[in-house]
Amino acid sequence: MEETEVFNYKYKNDPLVSVSFPITIPNFESLEELSRILLLKNNLPIYVSLDLTHQLHQFIDDFNLNYYDKRTTKLLQDFKNLPVIEDITKEWDKLIKEETVEYGDRRCASDEELFGTAYHKLVHSPALETMLQLECMYAISVRERVNEKDFQIKSLSEKQTEEMSKAVDKLEEGITELDINEMAARHFDDQSFLRVQLTSELETIKETQRREYREWLMQMLEESQANNSLSVTKTSPLLPCIPSQLFCSVQHNHNQHQASILEESFTIHLGSQLKQMHNIRILSADVMDLCAIQENEHLADTTPQLLQTALGLYSNDLCGLVLMTDNVIGSRLSKDFTEICQRTTEFHFPYVDDQLERISSTLQKYQADNASRIASSKNLQTGDVYITRHSNLAQVHVIFHMVCDDSLYGNDINSRHPVVLGLRNMLKSACSNDVTFLTIPLLLQYEMSEGMTVTWCTKRAELVFKCVKGFMIEMASWGGSDLKNLQFLLPKGISSDVFQSLTTMLPNIFKVSNPVILKSNP
């Protein structure tokens, strides 16, 4: 509500040059124009113009400020009487403390942060070789127990199958259907009990390894800081008989495996004004080969794969992989992936089953809190992405689980398809979280099928190329890390002709960096 205040003016205490004028507060008029009006209406001399304007400025500024102070105080007082304001204030206070370091509660570093800092320091030191050899030994031990577990379950299953076959053959010789049903129930209980028992034993071994590894690493850091040198401690669980094999050459069979992979690399420049350089690679391989550490008893075959993961684990150059899955978290489509994760001990992050369980619980809580605004489905929607973290994979730190459906087998998907939009969200997340190396399935499929003709593959690859290029250009305005290396994955077994046609397409869509060759006159 506006107010009226009287402006009284005297020129240097001269009673002959004075004026009184009511002014509305708040006031946003031109003070120069108002000063001119007062001069003319009151026949004031022209030489008082500057002084009059100055005092008008000061008068209106003071009363405007006073007006807004009173108005704000009244509004705050009114809001304080509303019960909802206190709740909103507490929520704001909580969010500010959680999101802004300056206003957050001062706390000590957690055990996970301390361990991450210690690991990052030691992995970039002479202790790296010892650490990786120890991880290899632990991995070999776990794999042996996993293989033993699979063998025992398989043996029991074969034994039960043989017993059931004999019982069925004697169905007319005194064996009844009730006996068959009781036998089937007993077989199920025996197999469930054995599976739970072996899984429990395996988890106990992993937890023991995890605890021993962490304690040994922290102790080694403490001793190195005390002695100003890094060396294997006397309490190291690493056997002294293990030779130094970290940087030995990889076995010949591994080279043959790598040679069979179709691949092509490019260097491109993207950006409207300031060009950014990116490395792009196209390869044909099994997606699980990019995750699984090669199982070999020789440390020389295993440690180079662990080396790449270890050096980048707590860095600003993380490696990510897009894994297509269905709308059920931890479903059968991701069974092969979870089995790979379970074949070695996870020393840094929660185990994959625990991560998936937490994601599922978070989803259920979100759907319960927003039941009135979202669909009643308890599963994820096509294009949704959830993320898991790993330190025990060969070339990957972060897995982007992309929810897809059968529509990806069709020919009519476009740039507005939920999975394509999910790729955009996933690239944005990668850019915001230091993922600078990313692998994307170029055809949005991991296996070739009858419907995937040359025309189908070309059309799908062109769509993904163009959309990803647009997302990468847009990514420059998002901030965060640049996507330095992008890897497009094609299904294993794709024909060389199709592979060549897709690699030929890429330079036409992306701006490939070509050297300029200058010839001088002889």
- Per-residue pLDDT tens over the stretch 318-363: 999 999 988 888 776 678 888 888 888 999 999 998 999 999 888 8
User: For the domain bounded by 261-366+377-509, which CATH number is listed?
Assistant: 3.40.220.10
- Per-residue pLDDT tens over the stretch 111-135: 788 888 889 888 888 888 888 888 8
Q: How far is CA 289 from the centre of its chain?
A: 21
Strand partners, 402: 324, 385
- Per-residue pLDDT tens over the stretch 102-116: 676 666 667 788 888
Q: How far is CA 431 from the centre of its chain?
A: 9
Environment class of 76 (CB within 10 Å of its CB; exposed 0-12, middle 13-18, buried 19+): exposed
Tell me the pairing of strands 276-284 and 262-270.
Answer: antiparallel
Coil, helix or strand at residue 278: strand
CB 409 within 8 A of CB 460: no
Q: How many CA atoms lie within 13 A of 447 on its CB side?
A: 4
Query: Is the pLDDT higher at 397 or at 79?
Result: 397
Tell me the pairing of strands 435-441 and 385-389.
Answer: unpaired
Q: Using CA of residue 231, residue 237, residue 240, residue 244, what is the dihedral sign? A: negative
Coil, helix or strand at residue 236: coil
**Residues whose CB is less than 8 angstroms from the CB of residue 355 and which lie 6 or more positions away in sequence, other chains included:** 349, 388, 389
Q: How many CA atoms lie within 13 A of 315 on its CB side?
A: 15
Q: Looking at residue 257, what is its pLDDT? A: 45
What token pair was written down for 330?
A: 């931890």
Average pLDDT, the chain: 81
Domain residue limits, the chain? 3-99, 112-227, 261-366+377-509
- Per-residue pLDDT tens over the stretch 3-36: 888 888 877 766 677 788 888 888 888 888 888 8
Smallest Cα–Cα separation from 180: which of 170, 195, 192, 193? Answer: 170
- Per-residue pLDDT tens over the stretch 218-271: 888 888 777 765 554 444 454 433 334 433 333 334 444 444 568 888 888 776
Give, in order, the Cα–Cα distances in Å from 477 to each of 181, 209, 472, 481.
Answer: 65, 44, 9, 11
